[in-house]
Amino acid sequence: MTGLRERKKEQTRQRIAAVALRLFSERGFDAVTVNEIAEAAEVAKATLFAYFPTKESLVLHGASDDDLAGIVARRPAGQTFLEALRAHHRALATAQLPPADLDALLARVRVIQDNPALQAAANGLLYQQRQALAQVLADEYGSTAAALMAAQIAASLLTLQETYFQRLLGGTSPKDAGRALAKDVELAFDLLEHGINHTEGH
């Protein structure tokens, strides 16, 4: 019974998020009210807020699912933290998203790009992610070095993401965009691992 209840809750959550995204895409984030979303998703306003505590979270849910700190903390013995992060992002780059999921992802990117408040909220999530990574690295490297490393990693990953979305929004096919992303992941982690001077020497 617990499994069924959880599945129904997840279906409700996905339905609310999908309805919200459709309305935001059609009319813009600011023009749509929470009441309208609840009505269109056929749920009570209180139910909507139980799943999504803020209007912003309707767009940003899942935006910080990339748990960098967790990937580093849970890595197997003998693997460096950069190797763990490279392996994770290499797998992400080669994974094929179903077309419907990709469409929804791009719709979310457009909604966020069109709204300064959402951009600021998304940047806030990235900052939290970076801080958490720095905390995990601090025990091994000290707080200043950990903060600098986390900042470099976060900036590199954000650039990878932005470049990937720009290609897709510019009309590049998902297959070609994924292939380019896989190359970019290797380049980004080569730079992180060996530094800019090493790359200049090639």
pLDDT in tens, 50-76: 999 999 999 998 655 578 999 999 999
Q: Which residues, including other chains, have CB under 8 Å from residue 201's CB and lie 6 or more apart? A: none
Q: At residue 43, does pLDDT exceed 60? A: yes
- The pLDDT score that the predictor gives to residue 97 is 83
User: Are residues 157 and 68 part of one domain?
Assistant: yes
CA distance 149 to 8: 41
User: Are residues 100 and 180 part of one domain?
Assistant: yes
- The pLDDT score that the predictor gives to residue 73 is 94
- The pLDDT score that the predictor gives to residue 63 is 59
User: Are residues 196 and 149 part of one domain?
Assistant: yes
- The pLDDT score that the predictor gives to residue 70 is 94
User: Are residues 133 and 55 part of one domain?
Assistant: no
The CATH number of the domain where 83 resides is what?
Answer: 1.10.357
CA distance 191 to 46: 48
Q: Select from 59, 75, 106 the last residue of a domain.
A: 59
Q: Which residues, including other chains, have CB under 8 Å from residue 60's CB and lie 6 or more apart? A: 112, 118, 121, 122, 125
Q: At residue 95, does pLDDT exceed 90? A: no
User: Are residues 70 and 39 part of one domain?
Assistant: no
Indicate the pTM of the whole model: 0.83
Q: Which two tokens stand for residue 136?
A: 């995990």
Domain that holds residue 126: 62-200
Q: Select from 14, 39, 59 the last residue of a domain.
A: 59
The CATH number of the domain where 52 resides is what?
Answer: 1.10.10.60
User: Are residues 166 and 90 part of one domain?
Assistant: yes
Q: Select from 31, 59, 87 the last residue of a domain.
A: 59
Please say whether the beta carbons of 25 and 110 come within 8 A. Answer: yes
CA distance 181 to 161: 8
Q: What is the mean pLDDT of residues 149-178?
A: 94
User: Are residues 27 and 106 part of one domain?
Assistant: no
User: Are residues 104 and 48 part of one domain?
Assistant: no
- The pLDDT score that the predictor gives to residue 107 is 92
Query: How many domains in the chain?
Result: 2
Q: What is the mean pLDDT of residues 166-181?
A: 93
- The pLDDT score that the predictor gives to residue 184 is 97
User: Are residues 90 and 33 part of one domain?
Assistant: no
pLDDT in tens, 76-86: 999 999 999 99
Place of tokens 């020497």: 201
